Structure 1
Amino acid sequence: ILILSTIGIIYLITQLFRSLVDLDNADTAKPLLSGLGDSWLFRLSLNLLGYATILVPGFLILKYVRRTNYLEKTAPSCFPNLVRLCLSGPDPLLGMDGAPLGGPATQTQSHSSLKQGSLLMFCFLGLQLTYLTWGLLQEKIMTQEYETSEGVKGYFRDSQFLVFVNRILAFALSGAYILCVRQPRHMAPLYKYVYCSFSNIMSSWCQYEALKYVSFPTQVLAKASKIIPVMLMGKLVSRKKYDYYEYITAVLISVGMTFFMLGSSNQGKETGVTTFSGLVLLGSYMLFDSFTSNWQGELFTQYSMSSVQMMCGVNLFSCLFTTVSLLQQGGFYHSLNFMIQFPKFMLDCVILSLCSACGQLFIFYTIATFGPVVFVIIMTIRQLLAILLSCLIYHHYISAMGIAGVIIVFVAVFLRIYCNQRLKAIKGRRIMAQVGSGKV
């Protein structure tokens, strides 16, 4: 009863907020607070209410199960097993025929230089093609005007629907892969994915919403600068320690980002308010994204799951969150109507979703085959190309100071990669020297 009452109260609050701005019938009656409908803070509030429809009852169930020792008192059956899977992980005595917990055995094959080069080129082109296309479509959908053959024009505004479109196909692909390819035994409670799933959809929403207020090159450069919030979250979540070069490169990135913002601030249509909103959204994106990566790192360490299992678990809850929120707000109805009215938008959404899902698979394959350093270099090159393509296609203006800022940021990123590898090599030689002296 308490859970149903909670869901009902949250739903009523959501509908009350929607009625204040009259999202469905803005033309037939004057809304009480019509100006709020275009506010990103108001849209964010509606989204959070939708997510609370799942989060609050889930929290109450978790507390009840733990306080009453429900799993210890009930005999194994379908429903208790489902509760156990969600809240405490699978029964360790069941299903031990899966792959070992440590993950699928790594196949150590000696590839020829030609084969390695071909694989590297395949990964490079795959990542560039999927994510450059994804970035350009992302900017097109959120900033460009759609037009029908009859001359009807319109802008698409629902960032959350784009998050859903990306997540649903990624969930389907990862689920199909898990069914077809043997995976390590999954030991993590499903609710552990909720944290990084929530931060993941929030970071994606902020990323899409920010394009209404800042240019795509600004957003890409902000992503290259997310090392700073990653370090902050690493300190808070994982208690990590960082070397001096990491702090130095973080400062360089901050300087470069400042130069870029100062050098690209005179774009006529931008105002202080929109720029501030864009920066707040970009900052929120980086914080949520940094939390996501650090939380996922903790899950990998604690439960030794595969990357595809992580992809499937995170996207499962992302689909649940966004589906409930879109249903409450009528987002599916409005977005599907927009699709019918502007068929080009439907095609853009399909390609965007395919690029996002395939791009995630390319990420996992590249890291597994060549390691994270090669992946970071490829994606840094992709960011440079994304800025260049966006400026050429959508005619963004960047001054000499802005170009200098871009150069400083990417020099700092490559310097960070070089110092990281150099330090690892030095530590490796020291260990080998100590082992050698010990044998003597």
Structure 2
Amino acid sequence: MKAKYAVGCLVVLCISTGWLIGYIYQLLILAYETNGILTDSEYSWFIRLLLNLTGYSAVLVPAFLMYKYLQMSNYFEKISNSSHVYRVLYSCFAEPSERLPETVKPKTEESEKRDTLEMLFCFSGLMGAYLVWGLLQEKIMTQSYVMEDGSVSRFSDSQFLVFINRLSALLVSLAWLLWTRQPLLTAPLYKFSYCSLTNVISAWCQYEALKYVSFPTQVLSKSCKVIPVMVMGKLISRNKYAPHEYVTALLISTGMLMFMFASHDQPVSPGTSVSGVCLLLLYMSCDSFTSSWQSALFRSYRARPLQVMCVVSACSCALTAPALLASHTPLPQHPMFVADCLLLSASSALGQVLIYRTIARFGAIVFTIVMTLRQAVSILISCAVYGHAVSLVGGAGVALVFAAVLYRVHCRRRSA
């Protein structure tokens, strides 16, 4: 009985803490938006990032307090009942007593054919969904919308795009799981919060980076993700990599640097260049952790792609909603902007389904290589549509990146 009262008091404390942090966040947002020096600074993105993290903490801090209490008090060992509060807390914070063992099915010629066909399906689906998503992303973040009265409106709230993309992914995955009557959770909810936080930050960084670097530079920077993905794989899952994987990762990074430093398709100041590089580095680090952590969830808990997609998207919506509600940034009241956002969220949802499927079936490294190949077409289309210039050295860098990727695929096929 004492444990029930203690949990009840802690729930009230957590709600109060979340409300207090949310109130402080609103005051900070208001102070930032009314300070012209901060909003006009070349490094205003860093202040906005800190503000976003403050908004996320309105959810994370209360959840952490509850988790630490339940862990220190051995709540689930002392209490055993079927009350709604107990079931919610168990779903969120209780570790399963037994994990499902990892099973490795022997490879047969038929299974290899199925894997090849599925890989082609995932690749073609990701290609189509993210080509549309990439073009719309660049349009929304870099182009102006002309209103009926002749005024020009420019969109700048990256947090809004993160939220609608995660919301669409949540609705699609939740509808499918309910339709097929599959369980929503196969692991405690807090396990998904880690990759959810890094997923939100990485998504925000890639949208924000378009204010400082060109779209081809942003796209090609994702090719460098191979290195941080390998690092995260060693740290999280203790993965081992062959020598050719290290060599190709180095070649990919070299080609990326050649492209970034040889591209002068838009005039930028030193501060803007630094901001763009910092955002891209933060994006790659967070996104690499996200895919590696999701890959570990698939192996450890035998979770299905749509289950992970649903729970991670729900956590991401919970993190971004308070920050979005407190923002006072107006959205362009233009029919084309609404249509672009709807199509962006739809293509993002389809891409998310295929992302989780690819990571579950083939791992984080293969997924990264698939996305790198997809980026070649994105760069060519973006250059054709928006007129980005690529120098001779930059073109050589692009060629080096994709030659390294193809060599990596060749070595992987030989060792299979």
Q: Deviation string for 1:316-366 (max 9, x for gaps)?
A: 1001111121112345xx33xx2xx22211100000000011122234556
1:385 to 377, 389, 393: 377
- Residue 67 of structure 1 and its aligned partner are, at CA, apart by 2.0
Distance 1:116 1:227 in 2: 22
1:168-179 alignment, distance < 5 Å? 168-179=167-178
- Residue 72 of structure 1 and its aligned partner are, at CA, apart by 3.2
Q: CA contact under 8 A between 1:101 and 1:186: conserved in structure 2?
A: no
Name the stretch that deviates more: 154-163 or 36-45.
36-45
Q: Which residue of 2 aligns with 1:239?
A: 238
TM-score (norm 1): 0.82
Q: CA contact under 8 A between 2:230 and 2:365: conserved in structure 1?
A: no
Q: Which residue of 1 aligns with 2:334?
A: 342
Q: Which residue of 2 aligns with 1:255?
A: 254
- Residue 255 of structure 1 and its aligned partner are, at CA, apart by 1.5
Q: CA contact under 8 A between 2:295 and 2:360: conserved in structure 1?
A: no
Q: Which residue of 2 aligns with 1:275?
A: 273
Amino acid at match of 1:294: S
Q: Deviation string for 1:28-80 (max 9, x for gaps)?
A: xxx4x322125111111111111000000000001111222333333321111
Q: Which residue of 2 aligns with 1:167?
A: 166
Q: Which residue of 2 aligns with 1:49?
A: 54
Distance 1:150 1:368 in 2: 50
Q: CA contact under 8 A between 1:165 and 1:353: conserved in structure 2?
A: yes
2:67 to 55, 62, 71: 62
Distance 1:206 1:154 in 2: 22
Distance 1:189 1:116 in 2: 30
1:91–1:323 CA distance, 2 compared to 1 (3 A): farther
1:120-159 alignment, distance < 5 Å? 123-159=122-158
1:88 to 90, 94, 97: 94
- Residue 230 of structure 1 and its aligned partner are, at CA, apart by 1.0
Q: Which residue of 2 aligns with 1:224?
A: 223
Q: Which residue of 1 aligns with 2:36?
A: 34
TM-score (norm 2): 0.86
Q: CA contact under 8 A between 2:229 and 2:365: conserved in structure 1?
A: no
Name the stretch that deviates more: 366-375 or 62-71.
366-375
Amino acid at match of 2:414: R
Q: Which residue of 2 aligns with 1:305?
A: 303
Distance 1:323 1:214 in 2: 27
Amino acid at match of 1:257: M
Distance 1:198 1:116 in 2: 31
Q: Deviation string for 1:377-413 (max 9, x for gaps)?
A: 6544421110001001111111000000000011111
Amino acid at match of 1:326: L
- Residue 152 of structure 1 and its aligned partner are, at CA, apart by 1.3
Distance 1:411 1:109 in 2: 28
1:268–1:314 CA distance, 2 compared to 1 (3 A): closer
- Residue 109 of structure 1 and its aligned partner are, at CA, apart by 12
Percent identity of the aligned residues? 48
SS in 1 for 2:189: coil
1:180-195 alignment, distance < 5 Å? 180-181=179-180, 183=182, 186-195=185-194
Q: Which residue of 1 aligns with 2:6?
A: none
Q: Which residue of 1 aligns with 2:393?
A: 401
1:247–1:122 CA distance, 2 compared to 1 (3 A): closer
Distance 1:4 1:121 in 2: 47
Q: Which residue of 2 aligns with 1:73?
A: 78
Amino acid at match of 1:393: V
Gaps of 5+ in 1: 24-30, 93-99, 425-440
Distance 2:78 2:51 in 1: 39
Distance 2:318 2:183 in 1: 25
Amino acid at match of 1:215: S
Distance 1:403 1:174 in 2: 39
Amino acid at match of 1:261: M
Distance 2:63 2:145 in 1: 40
Q: Which residue of 2 aligns with 1:325?
A: 323
Distance 2:190 2:362 in 1: 31
Distance 1:3 1:193 in 2: 20
Name the stretch that deviates more: 371-380 or 66-75.
371-380
1:236–1:362 CA distance, 2 compared to 1 (3 A): closer
- Residue 129 of structure 1 and its aligned partner are, at CA, apart by 2.0
Q: CA contact under 8 A between 1:373 and 1:417: conserved in structure 2?
A: no
Distance 1:381 1:273 in 2: 31
SS in 1 for 2:267: coil
- Residue 124 of structure 1 and its aligned partner are, at CA, apart by 4.9
1:291 to 266, 289, 292: 289
Gaps of 5+ in 2: 1-11
SS in 1 for 2:342: helix
Determine whether 1:9 maps to 2:20. Answer: yes
Q: CA contact under 8 A between 1:217 and 1:391: conserved in structure 2?
A: yes
Distance 1:375 1:284 in 2: 19
SS in 2 for 1:154: strand
Q: Which residue of 2 aligns with 1:436?
A: none
